[in-house]
Structure 1
Amino acid sequence: MTEQDEERLIALESRLAHHERMAEEISDVLAAQGRTIDRLTAEIRRLRERLRELEVTPTRAPQDEPPPPHY
């Protein structure tokens, strides 16, 4: 193997190591984003349930409220 071939091999190995590190970092970011999406999806589900409960529960009109004790 010539010196030039060895330098090229070292350069390729260095680039490969860099790409492997980038792939691991991207994988970590994607995993974190997946967890965030799951958490936000669950929160949206809970909020939709609460909204449904509020829509089903009849609200009282202000005139139906008993007057405060000082009247």
Structure 2
Amino acid sequence: MSDTQDVLQDRIMELEIKASYTEDLLEQLNMTIYRQQQQMDALINEVRELKRQAPEGGAGPSHNLRDELPPHY
């Protein structure tokens, strides 16, 4: 009967170790998701700010391609 108890204790210990690793992994994944959400929120705010700063009409004032010629022409 002692052997059976030892085997059961070993199995319980292995399960507790696995549960501990699983909890740690879950916490790491939660932190990763949290950081990614913060980054997405920051990027969304940045895009909103860029849209707010962009002139109406999107592309800006149109100009002639001759205005883009290098000065030596």
Q: TM-score range by the shorter chain?
A: 0.7 to 0.9
Q: Secondary structure, in 3 states, of the residue corresponding to 2:62?
A: helix
- Pick from 23, 45, 48: which aligns with 1:49? 45
**Deviation (angstroms), 1:45:** 0.5
Count of residues paired in the alignment: 66
How does the TM-score come out when normalised to structure 1?
0.78
Partner of 1:16: 12
Q: Percent identity?
A: 25
Q: Distance in 2 between matches of 1:28 and 1:58?
A: 45
Partner of 2:2: 6
Match for 2:49: what amino acid? E
**Deviation (angstroms), 1:61:** 1.8
**Deviation (angstroms), 1:23:** 0.6
How does the TM-score come out when normalised to structure 2?
0.76
Partner of 2:62: 63
**Deviation (angstroms), 1:63:** 2.2
**Aligned-pair RMSD on alpha carbons?**
2.1
